[in-house]
Chains A and B, each alone.
Chain A
């Protein structure tokens, strides 16, 4: 795999926007990096239009990026820098949110 392909594999967005792109933007940070989402994005959408992971599991350390999108599977809980836990599929992104994917803290 080339460096470019490897970077793509790890970091390219998982979700692809198909419509509704004319909304106002919302600034937040993801692992300390400045990012921009759109008003009405869930935390899940905001994170996965920038990367491909929401969290790493506390068991194997594998990356996870949500699953059911409707508040049932509980696989999309993410942590803020202040230690607050948010269910990413059912929490809307808010300006100034400082979100962590757990990168670097994975076992």
Chain B
């Protein structure tokens, strides 16, 4: 059987690249669509081609892994239709709508592997829109992709393994780390040890970063609550509190985040069924152990389908490709079957480890109760927590899409990427319901803003109606 269309992969991070490699190995020639100019995703993002730093400098302990993923892409480059700088902004009727260098086009598909990755999970705090405050991932992009620090004295705030990794990377690169402020408590991390032991190498790396930071005199605090960014036109410091009281930290930049959130908009527009994942406190597209979504022909892999980390993304990408092959008439060889079983076993181990991580770096469940009415929740349109609470109280809205229609939260240019987590928490708290009961902010085309000049007229009409 010769399929009519080549398989299409969205995303050229670890999941997308390993998926492509498996397809090429079995004689297929996939199309790879990626927003970035170079392959690698966010975790193995490559700087512009003429930059000089070594992979060891850029990726540290992950250098061999990054090199292997980049190498896999280099090996298959003549056997794939690789389209960098290409945004997938809509999916409809078996076609993806694309934007490349200001021009729209579309591509038909029969099988699609969605490997759209993740961004930082953000919970606002007073002053978070001040110049000099970036996400943790953003702080890392500045360093890896542009060889810049986000400031001269950088504080890192929030929770999750990235917090310590990025602080370490900054200090190693010669930046001054003002402090690392973790909203989780040390006790959380001790309680999580049994789960974390499922992946001893990753646990060891995490402990190494903490030990290294301490040994280099960098202050680490746990059980922290951010109070206020100091400075109006730029960061001049940070007020924070812990069990001992309030403190002021001198710094001129802040990187913050609370682990990651999946980029699920494309899966949503494709019609994939979602379920609430209690561990990640997020709505995620359903998938079987091989990565099949609820929509025939659509496969999900990597952090875009649920946060499991870069190594698991590689395994899930390859596993999804094997599923795609066997679903499209390729009879799996004995080696394919054994490989698929091995990948599933590795992914199961990762799931145990992630359970440990969520215990070690718990979501700050008290955040919504502590948020003040003045706090800006939507940085696109400066909608406040108070706006949300008043709208819910006066209209009786209990569902997040209803709240969006009434007060525009989640309707701005970022389409809720930065505010949806927080808005759902506020709505759940002020209506006295668990967060899974306020619903899921629906994805809409265009998935990201596209220039008006390149939009087909019916999309412009939709955008104007939404505005």
Name A residues whose Cβ lies closer than 8 Å to a Cβ of B. 9-10, 14-23, 39-42, 45, 49, 52-53, 57, 59-60, 62-75, 77, 85, 89-90, 92
A25 to chain B, nearest CB (A): 13
Name B residues whose Cβ lies closer than 8 Å to a Cβ of A. 35, 42, 47-48, 50-53, 57, 119-120, 129, 131-135, 137-139, 141-143, 145-152, 173-175, 231, 233-234, 236, 253, 263, 379-382, 412-414, 417-418, 448-449, 451
Contact of A40 among B47, B134, B381, B418 (CB under 8 A): B47
Contact A68–B175 (Cβ < 8 Å): no
Chain B residues near A10 (CB, 8 Å)?
A: 233-234
Contact A59–B381 (Cβ < 8 Å): yes
- Contact flag A75-B233 (CB < 8 Å), given A52-B132, A62-B129, A70-B141: no
Contact A20–B52 (Cβ < 8 Å): yes
- Contact flag A19-B173 (CB < 8 Å), given A40-B50, A69-B142: yes
A83 to chain B, nearest CB (A): 12
Q: Complex formed: what's the CA distance from A53 to B151 in Å?
A: 13
Contact A75–B414 (Cβ < 8 Å): yes
Chain B residues near A89 (CB, 8 Å)?
A: 141
Chain A residues near B148 (CB, 8 Å)?
A: 15-18, 45, 49
Chain A residues near B133 (CB, 8 Å)?
A: 67
Contact of B48 among A40, A71, A90 (CB under 8 A): A40
30 inter-chain pairs at a CB distance below 8 angstroms, sorted by A residue, are A9-B234, A10-B234, A15-B142, A15-B148, A16-B149, A16-B175, A19-B147, A19-B174, A20-B53, A22-B52, A23-B51, A39-B50, A40-B47, A40-B48, A41-B146, A45-B142, A53-B233, A65-B131, A66-B134, A67-B129, A68-B119, A68-B120, A69-B139, A70-B137, A73-B417, A74-B449, A75-B418, A85-B451, A89-B141, A92-B48
Contact of B147 among A14, A17, A85 (CB under 8 A): A17
Q: Complex formed: what's the CA distance from A74 to B414 in Å?
A: 5
Contact of B418 among A14, A42, A72, A77 (CB under 8 A): A72
A-B contact sample (19 more), CB < 8 A, given A40-B47, A42-B145, A65-B132: A10-B234, A14-B151, A14-B253, A16-B149, A20-B147, A39-B48, A52-B131, A53-B131, A62-B129, A66-B134, A67-B133, A67-B134, A67-B379, A69-B142, A70-B138, A71-B35, A72-B119, A75-B380, A92-B48
Chain B residues near A57 (CB, 8 Å)?
A: 382
Contact B380–A74 (Cβ < 8 Å): yes
B340 to chain A, nearest CB (A): 32
Chain B residues near A73 (CB, 8 Å)?
A: 119, 135, 379, 414, 417-418
Q: Complex formed: what's the CA distance from A52 to B381 in Å?
A: 21
Contact A42–B381 (Cβ < 8 Å): no
Chain A residues near B382 (CB, 8 Å)?
A: 57, 59-60, 62
Q: Which 4 residue pairs are nearest across A and B when measured between Cβ atoms?
A: A65-B131, A69-B138, A40-B48, A74-B413
B445 to chain A, nearest CB (A): 15
Contact B138–A18 (Cβ < 8 Å): no
Contact B141–A69 (Cβ < 8 Å): yes
Residue of A nearest to B133 (CB): A67
Contact of A9 among B42, B142, B173, B236 (CB under 8 A): B236
Contact B231–A9 (Cβ < 8 Å): yes
Contact B174–A18 (Cβ < 8 Å): yes
Residue of A nearest to B49 (CB): A40
Chain A residues near B134 (CB, 8 Å)?
A: 66-69
Q: Complex formed: what's the CA distance from A16 to B138 in Å?
A: 14
A40 to chain B, nearest CB (A): 4
Chain A residues near B448 (CB, 8 Å)?
A: 71, 74
Chain B residues near A21 (CB, 8 Å)?
A: 147
B136 to chain A, nearest CB (A): 10
Chain A residues near B263 (CB, 8 Å)?
A: 72
Contact B152–A63 (Cβ < 8 Å): no
A19 to chain B, nearest CB (A): 4
Q: Complex formed: what's the CA distance from A13 to B42 in Å?
A: 25
Chain A residues near B129 (CB, 8 Å)?
A: 62, 64, 67
Chain B residues near A40 (CB, 8 Å)?
A: 47-48, 50-51, 146
Chain B residues near A65 (CB, 8 Å)?
A: 131-132, 234
Specify which of B47, B57, B141 lies most central, judged by the most chain A CB atoms within 10 Å of its CB. Answer: B141
A84 to chain B, nearest CB (A): 9
Q: Complex formed: what's the CA distance from A96 to B464 in Å?
A: 34
Chain B residues near A53 (CB, 8 Å)?
A: 131, 233
Q: Complex formed: what's the CA distance from A70 to B414 in Å?
A: 12
Q: Complex formed: what's the CA distance from A72 to B135 in Å?
A: 11
Contact B414–A72 (Cβ < 8 Å): yes
Chain B residues near A74 (CB, 8 Å)?
A: 380, 412-414, 448-449
Chain B residues near A19 (CB, 8 Å)?
A: 52-53, 57, 147, 173-174
Chain A residues near B119 (CB, 8 Å)?
A: 68, 70, 72-73
B63 to chain A, nearest CB (A): 16
Chain A residues near B143 (CB, 8 Å)?
A: 18
Q: Complex formed: what's the CA distance from A49 to B131 in Å?
A: 13
Contact A52–B135 (Cβ < 8 Å): no
Q: Complex formed: what's the CA distance from A20 to B402 in Å?
A: 49
- Contact flag A63-B131 (CB < 8 Å), given A19-B53, A68-B119, A73-B417: yes
Chain B residues near A39 (CB, 8 Å)?
A: 48, 50
Contact of B150 among A15, A41, A59, A77 (CB under 8 A): A15
